[in-house]
């Protein structure tokens, strides 16, 4: 089968589309025929060897996959079942889904909702699934439509695009922060009420600033996250799920002890099955097909390697869906 194989030795790092034997697949109780995958930020880090994402060599890339169960010894799954895989160290320490087949643990899988195709599920992928986990966190902590604006940072990225669509669909007034102001029509089409330049948030700011946001979904980190917290209203909630600007968090305790702001960390990699299933149920219900298609570009395995630097540089709008047979 064809796969994006990453290898590294003392002399060189290689990312290539290679033929991999079924017998080389790792241990697992489910063998999946992968129909679609995606190119995520973490995949791009692995494919370019920019960050030490891969923990075991060689590695087949791909943290997301959707397809049909070919064989299973797991009690939840049988041949013919349509399933989704997100996270669990796949593409990092266990061979991933940028390939025509994957062998996985059945506990990692969730059932593909009946109203979603495999391609649209991968258009959503970890990005949309993470955005929904963030929206679920805001809602569970009392961020309801009508109180004040909600902020989405990194808005033209995968997480940001879906976060804008999800929150707007729920009735929130969404302000989208981006470094690509030329993409304002795109973001407005997803439901953003206002688009602001990311430069307004990206530089060091005061520990407490004018209150504006009832809630925030942040995929950027660093000064952007710090300023978002400093601008969040009393009893507001900030859901943090990314680090596109950096892993640092230059903030004081002021927003949290003087305004009661809650910072909710969102871990999509190992979320418990009930939360995963609930997130995918809501995604299937709330995201219209035309919204999913509007944020999606389809590419093949070879193009996934070529486009990885674009993902890291922020030159990709929305989602890159990978046809593993293309």
What is the arithmetic mean of pLDDT over 281-300?
Answer: 95
Using CA of residue 30, residue 33, residue 35, residue 38, what is the dihedral sign? positive
pLDDT of residue 326: 79
Query: What is the SS3 assignment for 136?
Result: helix
User: Average of pLDDT values for 93-118?
Assistant: 97
The CA distance from 124 to 248, in Å, is: 28
Residues 6+ apart with CB under 8 A from 244: 41, 154, 157, 219, 220, 221, 314
State the Cα–Cα distance between residues 171 and 157, nearest whole angstrom.
21
- What pLDDT band is residue 9 in, cutting at 50, 70 and 90? confident
Going across the sheet that includes 13-19, the strands are 13-19, 2-8, 59-60
**Which pLDDT does position 58 carry in this prediction?**
96
Mean pLDDT score, 14-43: 96
Question: For residue 257, what pLDDT is reported?
Answer: 98
- Which pLDDT band, with edges at 50, 70 and 90, does 314 fall under? confident
User: Could you give the percent of the chain with pLDDT greater than 90?
Assistant: 95
pLDDT on residue 10 = 78
In the predicted structure, residue 78 carries a pLDDT above the cut 80: yes
Pairing of strands 64-72, 30-38: antiparallel
Mean pLDDT across the chain: 96
Position 194 pLDDT exceeds 80: yes
Residue 32 pLDDT: 98
Assign 50 to helix, strand or coil.
coil
What does each C-alpha distance from 309 to 47, 62, 321 come to in angstroms? Answer: 9, 15, 16
pLDDT band at 241 (very low <50, low <70, confident <90, very high): very high
Segment 62-90 shows an average pLDDT of 97
Residues linked to residue 175 through DSSP beta bridges, in sequence order: 151, 194
What secondary structure letter does DSSP report for 125? H
Q: Over range 225-252, report the average pLDDT.
A: 96
Q: What is the mean pLDDT of residues 177-193?
A: 96
Q: pTM of the predicted model, to two decimals?
A: 0.94
pLDDT score of 214 more than 90: yes
Instruction: Tell me: pLDDT of 11 over 80.
Output: no
d(CA 33, CA 1): 11
Select from 158, 168, 166 the least CA-distant residue to 135.
166
User: Residue 323's closest CA among 159, 163, 117?
Assistant: 117
- Which domains, and CATH codes, for the chain? 2-112+295-323 (3.90.180.10), 126-265 (3.40.50.720)
The residues near 195 (Cβ < 8 Å, ≥ 6 apart) are 155, 175, 176, 177, 178, 181, 183, 184, 187, 188
Other Cβ atoms within 10 Å of 111 Cβ, number: 14
């Amino acid at each position: 089968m064809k796969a994006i194989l990453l290898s590294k030795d003392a002399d060189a790092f290689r990312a290539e589309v290679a033929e991999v034997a079924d017998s080389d697949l790792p241990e697992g109780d489910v063998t999946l025929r992968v129909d679609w995958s995606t190119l995520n930020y973490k995949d791009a880090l692995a494919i370019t060897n920019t960050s030490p994402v891969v923990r075991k060599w060689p590695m087949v890339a791909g943290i997301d996959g959707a397809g049909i169960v070919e064989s299973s010894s797991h009690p939840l799954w049988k041949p013919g079942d349509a399933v989704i895989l997100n996270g669990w160290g796949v593409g990092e320490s266990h061979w991933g889904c940028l390939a025509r087949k994957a062998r996985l643990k059945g506990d990692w899988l969730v059932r593909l909702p009946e109203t979603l195709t495999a391609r649209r599920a991968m258009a959503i992928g970890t990005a949309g699934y993470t955005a929904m986990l963030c929206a679920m966190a805001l809602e569970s902590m009392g961020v309801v439509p009508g109180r004040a604006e909600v902020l989405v940072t990194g808005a033209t990225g995968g997480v940001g695009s879906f976060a804008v669509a999800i929150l707007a669909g729920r009735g929130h007034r969404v302000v989208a922060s981006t470094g690509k102001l030329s993409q304002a029509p795109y973001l407005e089409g997803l439901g953003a009420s206002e688009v602001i330049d990311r430069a307004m948030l990206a530089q060091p700011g005061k520990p407490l600033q004018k209150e504006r946001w009832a809630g925030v979904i942040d995929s950027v980190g660093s000064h952007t996250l710090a300023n978002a917290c400093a601008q969040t209203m009393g009893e507001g909630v900030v859901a943090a799920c990314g680090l596109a600007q950096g892993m640092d968090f230059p903030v004081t305790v002021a927003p949290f002890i003087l305004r009661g702001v809650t910072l909710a960390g969102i871990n999509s990699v190992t979320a418990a099955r009930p939360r995963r299933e609930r997130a995918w149920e809501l995604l299937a219900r709330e995201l219209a097909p035309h919204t999913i298609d509007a944020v999606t570009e389809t590419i093949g395995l070879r193009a996934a390697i070529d486009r990885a630097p674009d993902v890291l540089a922020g030159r990709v709008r929305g989602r890159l869906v990978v046809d593993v047979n293309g």
